[in-house]
Structure formats: structure tokens, C-alpha cells
Amino acid sequence: MTEIRLHNSRTRRKQPFAPLDAQDVRMYVCGPTVYDRAHLGNARPVVVFDVLYRLLRHVYGKKHVTYVRNFTDVDDKINARARMLQEGGDTRSLNEIIRALTDETIDWYHADMDALGALRPNHEPRATEFIVQMVAMIQGLIDKGHAYAAEGHVLFDVRSYPEYGKLSGRSVDDMIAGARVEVAPYKRDPMDFVLWKPSSVEEPGWDSPWGRGRPGWHIECSAMSHELLGPAFDIHGGGIDLQFPHHENEIAQSCCAHPDADFANFWLHNEMVQVEGKKMSKSLGNFFTVRDLLDELEKRMPKRVAGEVIRLVMIKSHYRQPMDWTEAAAKEAEATLRKWARATENVQSEKIDQRVIDALSDDLNVWGAITVLNELAANGDGSALLGSARFLGLLSEEVRAISQATEAYFDLQKLLILRAEARKEKNFARADLIRKRLDDFGIQLVDQSATVTAPKFEVFKIEEVIQSLPPEDKENLLGQEEYVVPRIFNNKAFSDRYQSFVARKVLGELE
């Protein structure tokens, strides 16, 4: 069996992965708080752990891997967004708005992550569906002396768990010394964190031994993972921003609630996202949702291709390194997908190159896997290229068909975009040159509006152009057949070749 080695954040080293039960490999990944569209930072762990999920299923079998990713649907950010809608005129109750908001956001999330080629987890629990389990776990922590009730709240006693801070490499005393927040008067220790808090009449709330209230953020993942995966499981993943305090708190409350188990054996954390070399943030104006990027990319490529372009850019960077989204990286990813699509044209069978599995088994070395894919494309091994790309969640049948069928369209589209930019910049000489050169090859440009231009093909002129071409170009375009005028553009293969030939020739002249 293939040996998988993963970098364990808890031990700070790469280790051989040995599941607790090879017949029941279990992974939990922290999911989103559902109050708005998923941004690039939300999407990165989805794609990273999707690759790991695919690898685990390949090595241990699809039926022997369970993947859980939660939805946080009870949170102060959700409440705040619902209040904003009320203030904007929504007449529904706060709870009605919250339910509609979270339902809609989960639908958005699914649509966006599906577009990135991510497989759905086996379970996607909502926090609000596990309140009973959270209350039971909190009561158990109180009974064991690890939590206490105060003024309608229940707080975890950090000092009761000596291992607190081990995951993030921090000591409790150092954390207290560096804290700059006002400490609530009901806390015994500044680092104690909330397990349960009171709710106002209009806020979401559930009955509990400590009064009507709602859970703190950290307890939900402990309760849901225990319910769905048991007190000990194999892998817990998420973004590096969750390592402290969220994951640190999860470990403390789970290990104290179930002292005979060790919670998660492996902890994996993906690094943050940058945009054009800078941290993504709203203040810098470089904050993008997945939908923003899909919409932008779909202006120049089919929808399915856009999703795989984003996916390929994301997985190219090692998950423990920052991922930098750049326009250049997107264009390179698009070109790579089209190259692979051409290399798999007419390929019917597929197989996975073992070197791809070996690369991914080395702490998800996707770049090593992509290097193999490029080698397969260069060597003409379409079957292994197709199977290996699909193992990475790329080159779906739809994308492959679109990429192969529309190669000519996009070659010509590049010229139309260049001409539109020239007209916008009032560089009419360049715009007229593009029009003239295309017309020389029998492709007329019809400006239907200020922003829409459509090509019109003059078949008789195209025949004259073909007859005047050097023998090598003529053979590449026509193959072994001689096409008569009425049939030229009835043959799609020829039509595509001719458009690409002309577009690339004119683009070369413009460079």
C-alpha cells in the first residue's frame, strides 16, 4: 500500500500517516460561517483538503473514508447581518431572516465550491442541528471540573488543561501578557473562553441548564466531530488562521471531555491567500469572493473552464505556503488546461500515473504531480494525462470538450479584445490594422455596437487565401482532402483550424 506522509502541525514534522482504522479513515475540516459569499481564503482549504480526500479514497477505498466539513450557522456575524436587513426594511423576525440568510449562503457556497471541482464531503453538519450534543458536552466539562457557569455564561477553565497552547506553541502566561482586550468580569482567568452565552429575546437561543442561550464558536466542532467521527479520529484540517484560538480550544475541550481519547492524530493547516503579492483585505481593495473571480473569468472563457482555472492556480502552490492569486497565474493556468485538453483529444481510456500518487503522498506535493502531467502531455501519453488530471479534479469531460471545441474561438477572441482595447484608447491605427489583416484573410469584423463585434466569414475569399498559401500551411489546414467552396465552413475541424491559423498569424504580426 502507498505510504502517505503528512506534516503534522501538532508535532511540527512530517510523519508517516497511519490511520486508527484503515477500514474507517476519518477527516474533519472546519467549514465557513454562513453569512456572506465565500472568499478566496474560504475556498483554499476546500480545494486543499479535497485533494487529500481524493488521495485517501484512492489509497484506502472510497467506502472507507469519511470526510466531515461543518457549517457554522449560529454566530454573532450572522445576527449582525440579519439586523442590517431588518434595518433596511425586512419585516420578518430576526430568526426567520437568519434561517433564510444561512440557507441562501449555503446554497451559494455549494454552487461556488462545485464550480471549483470540489467533491462534497460525506457529512456537512449545521451547528444548529447539534445543540443538544453541545449542551451535553458542556455539562460534562462542568461535571469534570473543566468549566464553570457565571452570569448566564459557561466558560472553559484553561488552567485545568496543562497542555493548552501546545498546538500553537504558546504558553498561557505569555498569551495573557500579550492580550490587549478587556477581560469580562465573570471570567476567572483572562484566557478562559466561552462555551455558552445568553441570548436576548429576539436573538437565536435554546433552553439549557444555564438559561436560554446559544453556544460559543469553539464547542460546535468538538461536539459535531465527536458525534460523527467519534472521540478520536485521524485528521483535522483548516486554515492557519484557525490554529489559535479555535483549534487550540477544540483540543482543550475535546480532550477534557473525553480524556481516554486523543481527539485528532494529525493536524494540517493551509497558509493564507494573497492577491498580486499582497495580503487580501477589504482595506487594500483586493478582496475577492469566489463568485467575483468566476464572473470576471467568465467574461473571457466558458464557465466550466473558469472554475478549473481557479482550482489549478490554488493547487499549484504548496498548501503550507501562501497562495498568490495573480492575473498572470490565471492566464498560465488557462493555457495549461487548454494544452492538456489538446493532448487528450480523442482519448477514450484513462489511467493514473503512479508518480502522481507518489508526489501527492509526499505531503500533498501537487507541484510535483503537475510536473508529471506536463511531462505526459509532452510525451503524448493522453491516457495517463487524462486519468491523472481528473484525479486532481481537472479536465472534466465538460471542460475538456469546451477547451478542445473553443480553442479557435478564443484565439480569434484575443484579437477582438486587442482591437476593442485599441478603440477604447483611441489608438485607431492599431484597431484598423487588426480589422484590415483579418479582412485580408476573409474574416470581416461587424461592429454590432460600441462593445460587441462579430466575425463574418467570406468563403470565396478564404478559398483564394488558401490557394495562395505555401504548401506546408495549406496541407496543415486542409489535411489530405481538397475542400470546395460550399463545404469549407461546413467542416468544423477545418473552420477551427483556419480561425486559429489566422488569429495566431495576426497576433504574431502585432507583437
- 444 and 378 fall within a common domain: no
Span 260-287, average pLDDT = 91
Residue 349 lies in domain? 274-405
Span 349-367, average pLDDT = 97
Band of the pLDDT at 489, cuts 50, 70, 90?
low
Contact between residue 265 and residue 234 where contact means Cβ atoms under 8 Å apart: yes
- 414 and 294 fall within a common domain: no
What H or E segment, with its residue span, contains residue 442?
none
Which segments of 214-365 does DSSP mark as H helices, in order? Answer: 217-229, 248-257, 290-297, 303-316, 327-343, 354-361
Q: In this predicted structure, what is the pLDDT of residue 178? A: 47
- 197 and 213 fall within a common domain: yes
- 296 and 396 fall within a common domain: yes
- Whether residue 477 is predicted with pLDDT greater than 50 in this model: the reply is yes
What H or E segment, with its residue span, contains residue 318?
none
- Whether residue 302 is predicted with pLDDT greater than 50 in this model: the reply is yes
- Whether residue 486 is predicted with pLDDT greater than 50 in this model: the reply is no
Domain count, the chain: 3
Q: In this predicted structure, what is the pLDDT of residue 400? A: 81
Q: In this predicted structure, what is the pLDDT of residue 405? A: 56
- 389 and 465 fall within a common domain: no
Span 233-239, average pLDDT = 98
- 375 and 429 fall within a common domain: no
Distances (CA, A) of 245 to 43, 191, 194, 226, 416: 21, 10, 12, 19, 51
From the annotation, which residues make up the binding site for ATP? Answer: 282
pLDDT tens, position by position, 409-447:
667 777 888 888 888 899 999 999 999 999 999 888 888
Span 480-487, average pLDDT = 49
The reported pTM is 0.82
Report the CATH number that the domain containing residue 230 is assigned in CATH.
Answer: 3.40.50.620
Distances (CA, A) of 158 to 145, 161, 403, 496: 11, 6, 55, 67
3 state DSSP class of 354: helix
Span 290-314, average pLDDT = 89
Q: In this predicted structure, what is the pLDDT of residue 96? A: 94
Q: How many CB atoms are located within 10 Å of the residue 484 CB?
A: 9
The C-alpha atoms of residue 208 and residue 325 are separated, in whole angstroms, by: 46
- 309 and 160 fall within a common domain: no
Three cell numbers written together for 82: 440579519
- 396 and 431 fall within a common domain: no
Percent of the chain with pLDDT over 70: 92
Question: Is-cis flag, bond preceding 245, omega within 30?
Answer: yes
> Residue 81 contacts by C-beta under 8 Å, 6 or more apart in sequence?
35, 36, 101
Three cell numbers written together for 196: 455558552
Q: Which of 270, 288, 313 is the last residue of a domain?
A: 270
Q: Which of 364, 386, 405 is the last residue of a domain?
A: 405
Band of the pLDDT at 132, cuts 50, 70, 90?
very high
- Whether residue 480 is predicted with pLDDT greater than 70 in this model: the reply is no
pLDDT higher for 464 or 333? 333
Band of the pLDDT at 402, cuts 50, 70, 90?
low
- 468 and 401 fall within a common domain: no
Per-residue HEC secondary structure of 149-205 comes to EECCEEEECHHHCCCCCCCCCCCHHHHHHHCCCCCCCCCCCCCCEEEEEECCCCCCC
Band of the pLDDT at 496, cuts 50, 70, 90?
confident
Q: In this predicted structure, what is the pLDDT of residue 459? A: 77
- 340 and 427 fall within a common domain: no
Q: In this predicted structure, what is the pLDDT of residue 467? A: 82
DSSP string for residues in 243-267:
IIIIIHHHHHHHHHHSTTS-EEEEE
Q: Which of 341, 373, 405 is the last residue of a domain?
A: 405
- 359 and 486 fall within a common domain: no
Q: In this predicted structure, what is the pLDDT of residue 485? A: 44
From the annotation, which residues make up the binding site? Answer: 30, 221, 246, 250, 282
Pairing relationship of beta strands 13-16 and 25-29 according to DSSP bridges = unpaired
Among 178-192, 277-291, 339-353, 354-368, the range of highest mean pLDDT: 354-368
- 209 and 177 fall within a common domain: yes
Which segments of 344-453 does DSSP mark as H helices, in order? Answer: 354-361, 366-379, 382-391, 397-405, 407-424, 428-440
The C-alpha atoms of residue 442 and residue 435 are separated, in whole angstroms, by: 11
From the annotation, which residues make up the binding site for Zn(2+)? Answer: 30, 221, 246, 250
Q: In this predicted structure, what is the pLDDT of residue 411? A: 72
Q: In this predicted structure, what is the pLDDT of residue 412? A: 78
Which segments of 22-93 does DSSP mark as H helices, in order? Answer: 40-60, 76-87
pLDDT tens, position by position, 54-109:
999 999 999 999 999 999 999 999 999 999 999 999 999 999 999 999 999 999 99
- Whether residue 111 is predicted with pLDDT greater than 80 in this model: the reply is yes
